[in-house]
Amino acid sequence: MNGDIDFLDDAYIDAANEYFRLSEPIVEAFRKETERINGDPELQRKARIYHRILVHSGDQVQKLNAELLAMGPEAGMFAAVIYASALPSAIGLYREKGIPLSILRDTLEDFDIWIRHHREKYGVWGLSELGWLARHFRCGIFRLGRLQFMPRTCYLKIKVFRNRDSGALVALSDTGVAFRADGQIDGTNGVTDPDGRWEAVYTNDGRTASGNQIWPQGYADRRRVELDLLQWELVLEEGDWVLDVHIPAGCPMTHGLCRDSYRQAAAFVREYMSGRDIKAFVCHSWLLSPQLGRILPETSNIVKFQRDYRLVPVLSDDHQLFERVFGLKTTDLSGLPRDTTLRRRVLEYLSAGNVIHGAAGFMMWNELEYNENQ
């Protein structure tokens, strides 16, 4: 696959499918949409403008996505054609960086996943998860085994310290983060706590770091702790480089597959990002819901995935969980399926008047090697 074939040529999608690995019905939808575009001079002109923006004008991609989405779900295949046109550029970037094209093929599995998601949601083939997919064509995210990894700066508002002797870790909240009395972010699940609300305060005078601890189970403690900086060193804070972990839909995420992905990510960083000081893996997902860690059995893949991380409270709710587990958000729980352990446990928990929300978490870079030796 190279840039010799015009993206509006009939042969383009067949050549590109070496990387996208789309099923024949989706390929046929591409052919029909390309034919429709070529039959309308104005649409063809717009397609070429959008292609140039996507490939050459990164600062305008957000505006491009808004225009594509404004065309409506029925025009989702037009967006798919535009995004598929960026493949030769992505191949060029991978070659320039020396990254194997097999990683690009694996990374672009998301293209098929989100086209199918569009059909499940709207009843027609198309693409609407545009902001997310733009990074796949720009070396902004890589799939390595079961998991995806996005190099970025840390977004968690925490300071993580490591004991210089024991290696123990303590996380403190940054100043100004507002918590409820239960240690969750004020506003989580849409619930504020006017009476119990409090704000974290972090100080560091060069000798002592003082603040409110974030416990690994995912809640903040109003009591303050002090750390002697002769004994504790700062190892992670907001703005440090990390690998943001994402879990694509598809095959089961067994603990073994996830651990293998972390090992592949470590090797990837050594080979292709040697100039970047990666401090940790971070993740923000419904899979890190503290409630799931309590209601699911220890044998659950979700629980095993969660146990690799130290949880951090973030502003969240149950919308992502409902979408991923049940396919929709509803207040009527009675009609939802209970055909899996996950669905049954979630519905039992919610029916008892409880709430569920997502969370974030971090795993320090050197913990990967440490855990492998346990």
Q: 68-77, pLDDT tens digit by residue?
A: 999 998 899 9
Q: Which residues pair with 237 in a beta bridge?
A: 159
At residue 155 the predicted structure's pLDDT band, cuts being 50, 70 and 90, is: very high
Instruction: Give yes or no for a contact between 136 and 107, defined as CB atoms under 8 angstroms apart.
Output: yes
Q: Which tokens is 202 given?
A: 């972090």
C-alpha distances (whole Å) from 263 to each of 260, 367, 370 are 5, 11, 12
Going by C-beta distance under 8 Å and a sequence separation of 6 or more, which residues neighbour residue 314? Answer: 156, 185, 284, 358, 359, 360
Rounded to an integer, what distance in angstroms lies between the CA atom of residue 48 and that of residue 357?
Answer: 42
| pLDDT higher than threshold 80 for residue 305 | yes
Q: How many CA atoms lie within 13 A of 54 on its CB side?
A: 30
Q: H or E segment at 279?
A: none
- Residue 10: band (very low, low, confident or very high) from pLDDT cuts 50, 70, 90: confident
Give residue 328's pLDDT: 79
Closest CA to 220 of 317, 296, 310: 310
Domain residue ranges of the chain, discontinuous segments joined by +: 12-140, 158-237, 239-372
pLDDT of residue 245: 99
Q: What percent of the chain has pLDDT over 90?
A: 87
Q: Say how far apart CA 89 and CA 108 lie, in whole Å.
A: 13
pLDDT attached to residue 374: 42
User: What's the confidence (pLDDT) of residue 2?
Assistant: 62
* 239-372: CATH topology: Aminopeptidase (3.40.630)
- Look at strands 142-144 and 208-215 and give their pairing: unpaired
**Partner residues linked to 169 by β-bridges:** 162
Give the CB-side neighbour count of residue 350, counting CA atoms within 13 A.
Answer: 21
Query: Between residues 4 and 183, which one has the greater pLDDT?
Result: 183
Within 10 Å of residue 23's Cβ, how many Cβ atoms?
12
pLDDT grade for 373, boundaries at 50, 70 and 90: very low
Query: Average pLDDT in the 362-369 region?
Result: 87
- Whole-model pTM: value is 0.93
The pLDDT assigned to 202 comes to 99
Using one digit for the tens of pLDDT, what is the confidence trace for 214-269? 999 999 999 999 999 999 999 999 999 999 999 998 888 999 999 999 999 999 99
Query: What's the average model confidence in pLDDT over 309-321?
Result: 97
